[in-house]
Amino acid sequence: MSALLEVRDLRVAFPRGRSDEVFALRGVDLSLKRGERLGVVGESGAGKSMLAFAILDLIQSPGRIAGGSIRFDGQNLLAMSEREIRRVRGKRIAMIFQDPMATLNPVLTIGRQMAEALEAHGRISEREARRRSVEMLKAVQVPQAEARYDAYPHELSGGLRQRVVIAIALLAEPEIIIADEPTTALDVTIQAEIMALLLRLCREREVGLILITHDLAVVAEVTERLMIMYAGRCVEEGPTSEVIARPRHPYAAGLLASLPGHTEPGARLTQIPGSMPPLGALPEGCAFRPRCEHAYARCHLERPELEPDLPGRRVACYLPLGGRT
């Protein structure tokens, strides 16, 4: 089966000074089948949010997409006019951001905003808009959905707001939801509620999910496939459970080993020395090399490409853990 969304060698650049550029994405591939759930994991500055913005053509000037292709359902998104892309963005590909107030308009009622989402699909009577919106609020388990339809966003708790954002996203009957740290601002008990809901809805409605997060455990709970990003590139990709059970890239392994609470209590946490280099000052060769204890001469000279590894997996490393296949 061919992929619903196919991103190839995507590059995003920001100007630095008069004639120079810094690349926030340095050639990223991504593919998503219909109904598939993919996790994109990385630390701040790794480029994971940039990837989401680029897919939806939301890179703000002076940033620009500097190369690559994005094919959605056979069409090249990068070749589309702004009008055409609006028929995709927010409709066939919906977005959920970390801060629900980035999506919700504080001066409009929940109902007004839901009706707008429905009207974007075509004319609809006020009664019908209300009926379908309330139904959707019930589907995302907002209590007292009728009353909440007439409420303003500030009258709702953070968790309920995020449920409303999910409801609005689903009204458009999207084929893919891109969720960028959707529960990072929420408490852990509310996170569990929201993610369980999102997981069920995606399964039931066969909606694909690209879940962007720094939290490997959240990705492990929700996704089938996983991409680990570092310094604007994907360093490892594969089935989520396999990557977590047996990471091949030293960075992926280091991230997993440094998670507190998953190792012997009180034992020293494995730490990755140093920190991710700024995108404007990446070293020659492998970007992870200065922090990697396995690095050897070749890692200084050449940049490892993301290449097929174990079945269904890819890794960008000359010396993957456990040996070359």
**Binding positions for another protein, rule: CB under 8 A:** 43-44, 141-143, 157, 159-160, 163, 187-193, 195-197, 199-200, 214-218, 220-222, 241, 244, 254-256, 258-263, 265-266, 268-273, 275-276
> Judged by CB, which is closer to another protein: 11, or 213?
213
Structure tokens at 25: 């994405």
Structure tokens at 168: 């609005």
Contact between 135 and 183 (Cβ < 8 Å): no
CA angle 236, 240, 241 (to 5 degrees): 125
Least Cβ distance, residue 211 to another protein (angstroms)? 11
Contact between 62 and 14 (Cβ < 8 Å): yes
Amino acid in the structure at residue 274: G
Least Cβ distance, residue 259 to another protein (angstroms)? 6
Contact between 214 and 39 (Cβ < 8 Å): no
Mind giving me the DSSP string for 208-236?
A: EEEEEES-HHHHHHH-SEEEEEETTEEEE
> Judged by CB, which is closer to another protein: 10, or 46?
46
> Judged by CB, which is closer to another protein: 85, or 282?
282
Helix residue ranges, H only, the chain: 48-55, 82-86, 100-103, 110-119, 126-139, 145-149, 158-171, 188-205, 216-222, 240-245, 250-257, 297-301
Least Cβ distance, residue 199 to another protein (angstroms)? 6
> Judged by CB, which is closer to another protein: 83, or 268?
268
> Judged by CB, which is closer to another protein: 128, or 150?
150
Strands 233-239 and 225-230, how do they pair?
antiparallel
Least Cβ distance, residue 270 to another protein (angstroms)? 7
Least Cβ distance, residue 157 to another protein (angstroms)? 5
Least Cβ distance, residue 291 to another protein (angstroms)? 8
> Judged by CB, which is closer to another protein: 68, or 158?
158
Distance CA 37, CA 240 (A): 10
Least Cβ distance, residue 230 to another protein (angstroms)? 10
Distance CA 38, CA 240 (A): 8
> Judged by CB, which is closer to another protein: 103, or 191?
191
